[in-house]
Amino acid sequence: MQQAVRSGHGAGGAGPDVRARRRAGAPALALAGVLGLLGLLGLAGCGQDPGPAGAPAPPSTLGPLLTPGADAGTGRSGGAERVLELTFDDGAAGDRLGEGALVPDASGSGHDARVRLAGPTGGLALVEGAPGRGLALQLPAPCDSTVEGDCPKGVVEVEDAAGLAPGTGDLRWGASLALPAGRTSKGSNVLQQGFSVGGGGQWKLQVDGLAGHPSCTLVGRGDSTIHQVRADVDVADGGWHRVECVRAGASLSIVVDGEERGRAPVPDGLPVDPEGPVRIAGKNLKAGNDQYFGAVDDVVVEAPAG
């Protein structure tokens, strides 16, 4: 069957059934004590990739991303405002998103994203996501070539990221991941803004090393200290997992499938003001871009309302 490659503004949006499932399907994601803290927040080789196959059903905690008390019409929950939501539901399974393809921001905040590619990708494939969650985006497979340009690279970029840097405030960011054990790498960057060295700081979610443990990172403006918390569980098993980072006051927590799996202290009031775009699946398109090689869905950022 011929596959469509979309670029620029792409095709029309997903049907109302998918959107309804996202907002009124399974029970809302439980963040337990973490949300209480928020207070004011509320291709084998180099070939093409068919996407996750035979992935087990997600945990029951993987429900609609709206947190308890959320208003689906406003994107607000518990004093938090959703400022970014990428669902990858515009299109059909098997479509491939080419360079510049639009990924609309479902939060209504106007932070639309674009696909950025390098190397022989053939576009990034839309694949079936976790049951009841619509579509997901499959990133390229690992590539062993050391020749620059031989390996496919792909990221999703929110160029206009105004309002996504937390400053001294609280922040919640996360995504749903399906990553097979054979696709882990030294650094698989899932969602980030900024860099750990220089600039205004960084907030990041990644999957660390061959062990497949996700971690959350904060770096303050003008500060070389990397504040990180690593989950005590492996998510690189091919199944769908919901992973979220929560900065609340003087703590940084990581939540996996609705359960807090790690917490670390951070300086209260640490200013995190990264400049530049928010990127999903890699820090850029250069060599050593910390490419994420799995599937990703339901990318969300929440910040204090108002």
Which residues face 137 on adjacent strands?
A: 126, 296
Give domain 5-304's CATH number out of 3.10.450.40, 3.40.30.10, 1.10.760.10, 2.60.120.200.
2.60.120.200
pLDDT confidence of residue 148: 79
Which residues face 156 on adjacent strands?
A: 115, 280
Contact 267, 251 (CB under 8 A): no
| DSSP secondary structure, 221-257, as one string | TT--PEEEEE-SS---SSSEEEEEEEEETTEEEEEET
Residue 24 has pLDDT above 50, yes or no: no
If you average pLDDT over residues 21-46, what whole number do you get?
A: 38
If you average pLDDT over residues 7-19, what whole number do you get?
A: 44
Contact 90, 10 (CB under 8 A): yes
State the chain's mean pLDDT as an integer: 80
- Range of lowest pLDDT (29-33, 148-152, 173-177, 182-186): 29-33
What are 182's two structure tokens?
């054979």
3-state secondary structure of 191: strand
Instruction: Report yes or no on whether pTM surpasses 0.85.
Output: no
pLDDT confidence of residue 124: 98
If you average pLDDT over residues 202-221, what whole number do you get?
A: 93
pLDDT confidence of residue 35: 37
Domain ranges of the chain: 5-304
